[in-house]
Structure 1
Amino acid sequence: MTNLAKAAAAEWGLGDARLQFVAGRENQVYRVSDASGDYALRLKRPGYRTRIEIESELQWMAALDRAGILVPRPVLSLKGRLLEPVDGHLVDLLTWLPGQTLGTLLAGGSGADAEALFQNLGRHMALFHIASDAWVKPEGFSRIRWDGEGLLGESPVWGRFWEHPLLSVADRTLFEDFRAAALRDLHRLQDQLDVGLIHADLVRENVLLLGDRIGMLDFDDGGWGFRAFDLATTLLKFMDSPNHPALRAALLRGYLGVRAMDVEALDLFLALRAVTYVGWVVPRLGEEGARERSHRYVATARHVCQRYLSNPPDH
């Protein structure tokens, strides 16, 4: 893969630059460094996203950068293109953002620090949503949809979670019951829910802090969806933390201080976010450590779905 990365980097005039492998899941990501600076070279997994979807992602990120949102900025190739085909892979190049991830900072911070970070993150989420709404989308713009169909339909974005092959009978029944209730509640709430472009993967590894500014990485799964889904994605990973209520309150305080949003359905979106991971892991069950990860995802989803079904929203 390194030879492929070097060939890809050459499309941006960086064939002799230093390459460092960073991550490999949906994309193979390399840090590319030379005298002109540092960049992120992303080799896309064939078939995960269409060309137009990736080009739309890059156009969106460029628009966010122009609006002052801290995101990696797409770099045009020597041919003046955002995306280049290299040996069966679609490849792009982004500026490298310095800073520390939210996860790294939280690992060494105090509770008060965490609340301040979450309030600042909520503020930046709101600014990100405002900038996404203000941007006039180009003709042909296309991204995935985390709407009712994308979350709970017959072919969800991340798979039919209620058919996970390792589910117990009780868990399968629970997830089927939750799916029916969530479909009903989304339909009932459809006129009051805030919908637009969302990041859809603002976990702590994808949130970068640079001074007082907060950056957002990895827009692979960004698309059209419910704005509360972005907040739920961040909060879900902290469900077991003793300071979860304080972090939730801080995130909402930061967001609502900048932008209005109905957050009464946040518990619904916590459950929706949890079950997507149950679906996501199914095609990856053969990977090393996937069964342990699957067990954690199912346990989290079981907890939040049981809580949601036992405390339904007012009708």
Structure 2
Amino acid sequence: MKHFEQLTYLGRIRRMRQVAKLALENYKLSDTRFKFLREAGNTLFQVIDNNPIPTPDTDIYETGKYLLRIHQSGYQTPEAIKLELEWLNSMVKDDNLPVPKPVFTLDGQLTTSVSIPGIPGQRTCSLLSWIRGRELKKYNIKPYHYEQLGKLIAQLHNHTEIYGPPENQSKRIYDWEGLFGKSTKKAWELLSPEYIKPFRTITKKVKRVMNNWGKSTEVYGLIHGDIGMEANVLFWKGNPRIIDFDDSGFGYYVFDLSIVLEESEEDQIKSVFREALIDGYNQIRSLTEDQINALDLFLAAYSVYWSLYAVNAVQNHPEHKDYVFNRMARYLRLVEHYLERN
């Protein structure tokens, strides 16, 4: 039998189908079929239960339809995956927020572990109810959508503040050290010279703000970490739903909110989107003047963080080089534009 790493793409998917089949035996599903969706870190399968049990939340979730995640080995610890699922379950159970709803196993667990010959180690698997909705095309996005998304993010942050810091804090950290600390040393060395000075300036500016704010639950807690209007957000009947909490962790609420504006940065009506996002958020949870003023700085900080992550990761995935360097060049312009104004 070939080692898993030596298999072709199709060969890896065939073996993962065996993992999926065994994982589904641990859930209360009577007659299922499943199909491969994609391999993007985690391996994802859409699962259909042919004899579903009706539930009252059909406006948010599609009855009898699920997402099975076979978690990428070594990317998230089992403890981090459990924390994500506990948080999601709390948001659904306590506040009825439109986020993925974890499905418990037959023995009441949030995950199940599967091992098969031909795939090294055990794979942690989780099952989520399938959320109704579609991604918006860029030309269809209006200020209204930013306002509604702002409301939902504020609800998420309200929940996080009440939820408080859990005992299990195994998720990634989006504070200054987590974004720009020792782990990024190699990435800084890989940057072209024109990036260094403006990027370093941003890290110094945002460090001062973070130090002034501290880490009280009013400003810092569990965040999604990757909410984009064209990624990880669905709309159904005009209402947003947030998906894919895989990269969630502990960070500043303003960092979470600022990322939403990333895709509109070069749009001529970015200011309209920004105002709509803030207005929606403020209808549910008030932003201080300092937080509003720091939005653009945190977006610049995200641009630096993503560039450091990507310039390092692309060394092992040169097929993505053009995409990464084009996006980094756009982020450099964003950072320079911010510094010109501030």
Q: TM-score range by the shorter chain?
A: 0.7 to 0.9
Q: Which moved more, 1:274-283 or 1:74-83?
A: 274-283
Equivalent pairs counted in the alignment come to 302
State the SS of the aligned residue for 1:197: strand
Q: Does 1:38 align with 2:65?
A: yes
Change (3 A) 1:254 1:133: same
Provide, for residues 208-228 of structure 1, a one-character-per-residue CA deviation record: whole Å limited to 9, x for no partner: 112243211011111211111
User: TM-score under structure 2 normalisation?
Assistant: 0.81
**How far 1:133 moved relative to its partner?**
1.7
- Post-superposition shift, 1:180? 3.1
Corresponding letter in the other structure for 1:232: S
RMSD, aligned CA? 2.3
**Separation in structure 2 between the aligned mates of residue 268 and residue 78 of structure 1, nearest angstrom:** 47
Alpha carbons 1:7, 1:15 under 8 Å: kept = no
Query: 1:306 aligned to 2:336?
Result: yes
Within the candidate set 178, 182, 185, 1:154 is matched to 182
1:95 corresponds in structure 2 to: 129
Task: Specify the alignment match of 1:263 in structure 2.
Answer: 292
The residue aligned with 2:240 is 214
Deviates more, 1:61-70 or 1:21-30: 21-30
Larger Rg: 2
Distance across 2 between alignment mates of 1:232 and 1:26: 25
Distance 1:136 1:227 in 2: 13
Q: Which residue of 2 aligns with 1:29?
A: 44
Q: 2:226 aligns with which of 180, 196, 201?
A: 201
Deviation, 1:134, is 1.9
In the alignment, structure 2 segments of 5+ residues that lack a partner are 1-15, 53-63, 116-121
**8 A Cα contact 1:9 1:15, kept in partner:** no
* Residue 297 of structure 1: how far off its partner (Å): 2.7
Q: Distance in 1 between matches of 2:277 and 2:186?
A: 30
Q: Secondary structure at the match of 1:96?
A: strand
- Identity of counterpart residues, as a percentage? 29
2:255/2:302 contact within 8 Å kept: yes
What residue is the counterpart of 2:322 in the other structure?
Answer: 292
Taking the aligned partners of 1:303 and 1:100, their CA distance within structure 2 comes to 31
State the Cα distance separating 1:89 from its structure 2 match.
Answer: 1.1
User: Structure 1: which 5+ residue stretches go unaligned?
Assistant: none
Q: What are the within-5 Å matches in structure 2 for residues 83-162 of structure 1?
A: 83-87=111-115, 88-101=122-135, 103-104=136-137, 106-107=138-139, 109=140, 114-135=142-163, 139-155=167-183, 161-162=187-188
The answer to whether 1:57 aligns with 2:84 is: yes
- Residues in 1 aligned to 2:249 and 2:77: alpha-carbon distance in whole angstroms: 13
Cα distance change of structure 1 residues 288 and 154 upon mapping to structure 2, 3 Å threshold:
closer
CA contact (8 A) 1:162 1:176 kept: no
Match of 2:4? none
Tell me the residue number matched to 1:274. Answer: 303
Encode CA deviations 1:6-30: one digit per residue, 9 max, x unaligned: 2222222559622122232231111
Secondary structure, aligned partner of 2:18: helix
1:234-260: per-residue Cα shift (whole Å, max 9, x none)? 111111112211111111111112111
AA aligned to 1:24 is E
Distance 1:253 1:10, change over 3 A: same
Distance (whole Å) between structure 2 residues aligned to residue 191 and residue 41 of structure 1: 34
